[in-house]
Structure 1
Amino acid sequence: MKFSHILPILFITLFSASCSTDNDDDLIINELENLIKVQNLVNDTHTIEVYTKSGSFYTGYNAVSLRIVDNTSKSYIENASINWMPVMQMPTMQHSCPKSDVLKTTNKKTLYDGYIIYQMTNTDGSGWSLTINYTIDGITYVVTDTITVLQSKLQNVSSFQGSDNKRYVIAIIEPTKPIIGINNLVVGLYSMETMMSFPEVENYSLALDPRMPGMSNHSSPNNTDLTYSSTDSMYHADLSLTMTGYWVLNLKLVDAEYTVLKGEDVTETNTQSSLYLELEF
């Protein structure tokens, strides 16, 4: 074969290889679309990149994405098993908070997803640490560091004791962008089994009564109470918002035996339940 014939083939081969590498890099970069890095957690072997949509942790529900980078090869780990433990250090004790399992993100090569619900923080955002235990090819690693958890402007999470003397945590998950009309309201409900364990509470119900305190405390039509869904282990309802502004979502928690554990009806003399969450848009 003449060299003049070989040269175009060589160019095509090199161009194809270059495109393949670029596409892989682009895919890895595109996996971070709409995500901002919170911080890196580093040990001798790996760097754990921690991402959220805001680039920060806040009290309430946080959807969290992780990536693991090999410190030597700078490559991303695609086959890790991960679990985590957020811990808040109090003056005389420490506790964790509700959290999900960490799973590989669907259709993503390098990302792992989960959520953490921080029920409180210090005024300067201090007090919390995050420990990540992970296994790669049968070898177990651990990394831990302090993190900053900022206080949300609205009450999107509440920690309380029920009439059954158990402690609960409730947090709003959706809507993140409320609209005028019917919104899909999603709430997580957890019990404090121990200081480090907050399992999901199943098959309770939450009566819902949204009100606008700044507008004569009026409510809205076509709301439904929150009921448990085994599909995602969350509580779902229709939330009707008739105008923009500040809303209080008055709640009443009822167990499987129809006992009211927390919260009261809103009446002319009782303008707000003791169990509530807030929205503003």
Structure 2
Amino acid sequence: MRKTLFFLTAACFAILSCTKEKTDYEAEIEVVVPTYDEFKEAANIHNGIYDISIEALNGTFYKGYNEIRLKITNSQTNEKTSASSVTFLPIRSDGEQQNTSCPHQYDLAYLTAENYFLGYVVFTNESSPNGRWEFYISFTIDNQTYTVKETINVQEQINKNLHMATFTGKDNEQYFIALVSPQRPKVGENELIAGIYKFNKPTNPPTGDFPDPSQFSYAQVSDYTLQLDPRMPEPSMGNHSSPNNKDLMQQNDGLYHGVVNYTMTGNWTLNFIMLNQNGKMIKGTEVSTDFTPGVEGVKSELHIDILF
């Protein structure tokens, strides 16, 4: 009788535990994650007669990938001003005055029709009392170069579909993968877009005034392949995958495009294997195709967890 009571008690505890986990999980996936498609001013800097406005989606800088649009206005005439060049360098200083940067486009591209400079920045950390982000910007107008510096705020990215990964490859280089799209996936096939970047190790000591751009240089990697294997790692899902996924390949915009097929909502893991332009594996491990119900799914050593 005691054994029977113990078994029933244990069974009830297990059922209640599973129910609680399921309830928490359902509450998590029911959280509405906003999507943003409007660029708003996220920072404004004044220098002499010029106002520099930097726009980002939702007027906010987030950890991960951020497209930025920079506009220069003559504050006396209130007219947009065309600079011959604009450089952009984000610097993070920690509590010990150690300076680092993150993937970014140093020379911004001018779009004539839109009348702004276009670039991107992939923030690797949120702003905090122990870590401050600053923009160092220079621009040239009528052969005169101006420099400005501004402290900005970087917020946590609560949308897991836009998370990122930082890692050291088998070639001992530092890499970054940042999800760009979709912000809100649908059940079915979705175009998956990501940026892949590498830190360019300095070959010489710093020179000139701080910051020396050569010490904080990053580049989009070219002609790599990001092999994709999406899985649902929840024990109840058995780490199952889905059909019709396509590996991510670089397109003309410099970003990597592929297809991910989400067969249902919930927790998914994007398992990756990254190959360089010569087909050599830089990072990642294969995931077994075995169906493993009741066990949390195995993940590649290179992965990003998402939720929708």
The answer (yes or no) to whether the contact 2:180–2:193 under 8 Å persists in 1 is yes
Following the alignment from structure 1 to structure 2, what is the Cα–Cα distance between the partners of residues 279 and 106?
37
Question: For 2:108, which of 102, 114, 128 is the aligned residue?
Answer: 102
CA positional deviation for 1:134: 0.6
Question: For 2:269, which of 226, 248, 267 is the aligned residue?
Answer: 248
Q: What CA deviation, in whole Å up to 9, does each residue of 1:72-130 have, x standing for no partner? A: 33322134421100111132521221122422235223x22211111223446951101
| Counterparts of residues 78-97 of structure 1 (less than 5 Å) | 78-90=82-94, 91-97=96-102
The corresponding residue for 2:68 is 64
CA positional deviation for 1:238: 1.4
| Counterparts of residues 1-281 of structure 1 (less than 5 Å) | 34-90=38-94, 91-100=96-105, 101-105=107-111, 107-109=113-115, 111-123=116-128, 126-153=131-158, 154=160, 156-194=163-201, 195-214=215-234, 215-229=237-251, 231-267=252-288, 271-281=298-308
The answer (yes or no) to whether the contact 2:244–2:261 under 8 Å persists in 1 is yes
The answer (yes or no) to whether the contact 1:70–1:76 under 8 Å persists in 2 is yes
Q: What CA deviation, in whole Å up to 9, does each residue of 1:123-163 have, x standing for no partner? A: 46951101111111221111111111112133711111111
Q: What CA deviation, in whole Å up to 9, does each residue of 1:149-189 have, x standing for no partner? A: 11213371111111111111111122233222221112211
1:160 maps to amino acid: F
The answer (yes or no) to whether the contact 2:88–2:136 under 8 Å persists in 1 is yes
Point out the more displaced range, 126-135 or 264-273.
264-273
CA RMSD of aligned residues (A): 2.2
Normalised to the residue count of structure 2, the TM-score between the two structures is 0.73
CA positional deviation for 1:251: 0.7
Following the alignment from structure 1 to structure 2, what is the Cα–Cα distance between the partners of residues 124 and 179?
37
The corresponding residue for 2:7 is none
Secondary structure of the 1:222 match is coil
Secondary structure of the 1:179 match is coil
Following the alignment from structure 1 to structure 2, what is the Cα–Cα distance between the partners of residues 87 and 81?
20
Following the alignment from structure 1 to structure 2, what is the Cα–Cα distance between the partners of residues 103 and 249?
32
1:127 maps to amino acid: R
Following the alignment from structure 1 to structure 2, what is the Cα–Cα distance between the partners of residues 205 and 144?
37
Q: What CA deviation, in whole Å up to 9, does each residue of 1:42-71 have, x standing for no partner? A: 222311111112111011110111211223
1:177 maps to amino acid: R
Normalised to the residue count of structure 1, the TM-score between the two structures is 0.80
Following the alignment from structure 1 to structure 2, what is the Cα–Cα distance between the partners of residues 156 and 107?
32
Kindly report structure 1 stretches of 4+ aligned residues shifted beyond 4 Å.
122-126
Q: Percent identity?
A: 33
Q: What CA deviation, in whole Å up to 9, does each residue of 1:205-233 have, x standing for no partner? A: 1110112223332211100112233x122
Following the alignment from structure 1 to structure 2, what is the Cα–Cα distance between the partners of residues 152 and 93?
24
What are the ranges of 5 or more consecutive residues in structure 1 without an aligned counterpart?
1-32
Secondary structure of the 1:152 match is coil
Q: What CA deviation, in whole Å up to 9, does each residue of 1:18-40 have, x standing for no partner? A: xxxxxxxxxxxxxxx92221121
What are the ranges of 5 or more consecutive residues in structure 2 without an aligned counterpart?
1-36, 202-214
Secondary structure of the 1:190 match is strand
The answer (yes or no) to whether the contact 2:83–2:139 under 8 Å persists in 1 is no
Are residues 106 and 34 of structure 1, via their aligned partners in 2, closer, same or farther at CA, if it must alter by over 3 Å?
farther
Following the alignment from structure 2 to structure 1, what is the Cα–Cα distance between the partners of residues 192 and 146?
38
For these two proteins, the number of residue pairs brought into alignment is 247
